[in-house]
Amino acid sequence: MPTEIIKSGEVRVRIAPSPTGPLHIGTARTALFNFLFAKKHRGTFILRIEDTDLERSDPKYEKDIVEHLKWLGIAWDEGVEVGGEYAPYRQSERIYTYSKYVQKLLGEGKAFYCFHSKEELGRERQDQLKAKQTPIHLCEHRGLPERKIKDFMAKGNYVIRFVAPKKKVIFQDLIHGEVEFDTSLFGDFSIAKEIGVPLYNFAAAVDDFEMKISHVIRGEDHISNTPKQILIQEALDFPRPKYAHLPLILNPDRSKLSKRYLETSIGDYRVAGYLPEALVNFMVFLGWSPGTDREIFSLDELVKEFGLEKVQKSGAVFNVEKLDWFNGHYVRQKNLDELAKLCLPYLSAQAGPGEIDLDYAKKIVALERDRMKKLSDIRELAGFFLKEKLEYEKELLRWKKMTDEEVATNLKTVKTMIEPISDDLFTAAAIKETLDKEAEKTGKGELYWPFRAALSGLKQSPPPQEIAEVLGKEKTLLRIRAAIEKIGRG
Ligand code: GLU
């Protein structure tokens, strides 16, 4: 797509999640693209909670959305000021605005009351499907006289429908190019359940106008809503914002991203130990690319680089290995203090509360950080530091073809050689220096492998002298003794 010329300060964008579930990775990606676009053009990014569906909306999900957007660093610039902070706009608090416009359309004959019951509409739909027709409702309640309306009102429920002009709606999508829809397939679509309960397309069109939204950047699943919103804008004499529909996010098998394959909520990724920097960097590639090989971008760098012209049309496959790769990168970027703080909750869950302090966590994390992809990996990788007794098979102690006798002898040698080192000199360097001479005689693997396995109970772990320094002399000797007993030549 050609680059759009945009004057700074003109851009006003929004995300408009419905609080019917926790912050979804798709919504977070849309939020990120809107945020980057706004920042790049020194514009305004708005969070609007679309909570008019009272049955499905829940304030706990709004809380989750707000918390995780903040956690990702995707801050909005405007909203309802509460205690020096901006709470998001909520549609439930803007009912008067929608009622005003519904009344206007009713008054101008551009909308009408429909009193058909769900059952009647269901039957009509079934009949149309049977007759292989597109199921649309062209309502004969359009133009009912006042008296009739009053009678129906007294009897039961209604919806408000829009008199949709039959025409071709064409719009220029900044990602997809020219998009055309035939609105005769929409029928008389509903815009409100009652005067004060607007439905999505209507409330979105009204709010996009009232909030002076310049660009509507949202998921491609909304592309078919756009012509309906355009018809409503035209009926109300609203200007048309620009549109950009972002590609769908796909499972690895190219079906639409779903919880069946992958976690979809940002909160779940946070709990699993992904860092916000990694998620942001990963999410931007779900549809955008810089046009070079460069992969690592901070949020600030993205503000400079981002542009809608580099957003692809085709679906973006969610690749967890790539997310792990980004996360591993950002884990290694952290300084030890920060990383240990982030790992502490995972280690505490393993050790029991209060049993591990930050200093100890730092020692453990320093040894394991290169092997970590997610923060939660520290549980698996370093659990052995925190256990009283290690569970492992005796075979693990054996290096290549060593006999039990040789394993036991070498473990005893290690024990005898390191025992005289005083507690305060019990460092990795001192232990290595002491054992290296012996290893020249026994063979490196023959001496160090059983020692390492005895301390970690794992096939892979950091070198034994480094584990020993963190464990301290007493625990180290205890673990060697337990291993000698296990091999059965104690
Ligand atoms: N409430 C809609 C959603 O959550 C908003 C779509 C839009 O951005 O217009 O998908």
pLDDT tens for 201-253 read: 999 999 999 999 999 999 999 999 999 999 999 999 999 999 999 999 999 99
Ligand 1 near 18 CB (within 6 A): yes
Atom of ligand 1 nearest to the CA of 15: 8
Count other Cβ atoms within 10 Å, centred on residue 462: 21
pLDDT value of residue 232:
98
> Are the C-beta atoms of residues 196 and 187 closer than 8 Å to each other?
no
Residue among 25, 27, 45 at smallest CA distance from 35:
45
Q: How confident is the model at residue 7 (pLDDT cuts 50, 70, 90)?
A: low
- The torsion defined by the Cα of 409, 412, 416 and 418, in degrees rounded to 10, comes to 110
**24 Cβ closer than 6 Å to some ligand 1 atom:** no
Q: Tell me the best of 12, 15, 18 to mutate to test the pocket of ligand 1, counting ligand atoms within 8 Å of each CB and taking the most.
A: 18
- Paired tokens of 335: 């300084």
Q: What is the pLDDT of residues 9-48, one digit of tens each?
A: 689 999 999 999 999 999 999 999 999 999 999 999 999 9
Tell me how crowded residue 268 is: count the other CB atoms within 10 A of its CB: 14
Mean pLDDT (whole number) for 66-89: 94
Domains and CATH numbers, the chain: 12-93+249-317 (3.40.50.620), 95-246 (3.40.50.620), 341-386 (no CATH), 394-487 (1.10.10.350)
pLDDT in tens, 172-192: 999 999 999 999 999 999 999
pLDDT at 8 over 80: no
CA-based nearest residue to 137, from 184, 187, 183: 187
Among 218, 224, 232, the mutation site with the greatest number of ligand 1 atoms within 8 A of its Cβ is 218
Tell me whether strands 197-198 and 190-194 are parallel, antiparallel or unpaired: antiparallel
- Identify the pLDDT of residue 259: 82
Residue tagged active-site, from 148, 168, 259, 304: 259
In which band, very low, low, confident or very high, does the pLDDT at 105 lie, cut at 50, 70 and 90? Answer: very high
**SS3 (DSSP) at 217:** strand
- The residues that bridge with 90 in the sheet, in sequence order, are 49
Rounded-to-integer distance, Cα 48 and Cα 15, Å: 6
Q: Euclidean distance between the first and final Cα of the chain, in Å?
A: 75
Q: How many CA atoms lie within 13 A of 97 on its CB side?
A: 17
Mean pLDDT, all residues of the chain: 94
Average pLDDT over residues 470-481: 97
Show Cβ contacts of residue 210 under 8 Å, excluding neighbours closer than 6 positions: 94, 97
104 is a catalytic site residue: no
Which 8-state DSSP code applies to residue 374?
S
For residue 356, name the pLDDT band (cuts at 50, 70, 90).
confident
DSSP class of residue 222?
Answer: G
Q: How far apart are CA 231 and CA 242, in angstroms?
A: 15
Q: What is the pLDDT of residues 296-336, one digit of tens each?
A: 999 999 999 999 999 999 999 999 999 999 999 999 999 99
- CB distance 222 to ligand 1 below 6 Å: yes
Known binding residue 389? Answer is no
State the pLDDT confidence band at 68, using cuts at 50, 70 and 90. Answer: very high
pLDDT of residue 260: 80
Report the candidate in 99, 109, 229, 103 with the shortest Cα–Cα distance to residue 163: 109
Q: What is the pTM of this model?
A: 0.92
